[in-house]
Structures are given as structure tokens and as C-alpha cells.
Structure 1
Amino acid sequence: MKFDKSLLKTILFALGVVAFVIATYQTVLQNDLVGNYWIYMISLACWLPLQYWRRQEARAAKEAEVARQVAELNKPKKAAKQKKKR
């Protein structure tokens, strides 16, 4: 069975959103941010890996683009067709 990283990303994002909404609701209801700080930290802990993975993917895409550009520049140029004189 192959591990699906996109499923993990979706679950972490959804869990982070739910935790943030619950923390905000509890903070407004109880008027106590300190008591609900741990719930905010759960949402943050869910979002931090997502940000890390997005930056890794962006960096990998940028490196691939630069490698493609370098390969394009280093490709031997085709010799100009010479016209034969008769």
C-alpha cells in the first residue's frame, strides 16, 4: 500500500481549521485566551508541516527550473546549414 501524502495534507489542514474555529469559539464564549491557548497550538502544529512541505516543493520546482535552463544553455548549438556552391 502506497502512502498518499496529499491525503495527509488534507487531513492536517482540516484538523488545523477545526481546531482554530473551536479555539476561537471557546475564547469568545469564555473570554479567556490563556485557557484556550493549547487549542490554538494544536492548529498551529497542524499548519506548520504544511508550510514546510509547500516551501520544499517550491524550492524543488525552482531548482528543477534552473537545472532546465542551465541544460538549455549548455546544449550544443546546431551548426548553421552551409549552402553548397555548385
Structure 2
Amino acid sequence: MNQKLVNTILLSLAFVAMVIGVHRSIQESDIAGNYWIYMIGFMLYIVYHYRKKKQTE
């Protein structure tokens, strides 16, 4: 699979997870209950950043 496409998908999923986390936190008034959504988004961003850094080397 094209590496740029995989990077784009990872970054998009990270962004979507963060938006969903913010939306659910506002709706439910509970940031701690939606912590796992933020961590999924953060983990996807870390994987994206690692892959991007590895490609430039």
C-alpha cells in the first residue's frame, strides 16, 4: 500500500478520534469518561509521527 496514503489515513483517524472525544466530553460533561478516546487519537498521532520521521531519514 502507498505509504503516503497510510500516513494520511492515520492522521485523519487521529483527528477524528480527537473531535469525537471533544464532542462526547461536551455532551456528557465528563472528560475522564472519554479519556480512552483521547488516548486512541494520541496513539494514532504518535504512530503517524513515527512513520513520518522514519520516512525522512
TM-score range, shorter chain: 0.7 to 0.9
DSSP-derived class of the 2:39 partner: helix
Q: Tell me how large the CA RMSD over aligned residues is.
A: 1.2
Higher helix share: 2
Whether 1:9 and 2:7 are equivalent positions in the alignment is yes
1:32 and 1:49 map into 2 onto residues whose CA distance is: 27
Which of 1 and 2 has greater Rg? 1
Structure with more relative contact order (C-alpha pairs < 8 Å, separation 6 or more): 2
Q: CA deviation at 1:54?
A: 2.6
Superposed, 1:1-86 pairs within 5 Å as 3-58=1-56, 60=57
Q: What's the TM-score once normalised by structure 2's chain length?
A: 0.86
Gaps of 5+ in 2: none
Q: What's the TM-score once normalised by structure 1's chain length?
A: 0.60
DSSP-derived class of the 1:13 partner: helix
Q: CA deviation at 1:50?
A: 1.4
Q: Match for residue 64 of structure 1? A: none
1:5 and 1:18 map into 2 onto residues whose CA distance is: 20
- Does the Cα contact within 8 Å between 2:7 and 2:52 map onto a contact in 1? no
Q: CA deviation at 1:45?
A: 1.4
Gaps of 5+ in 1: 61-86
Give the paired residue count.
57
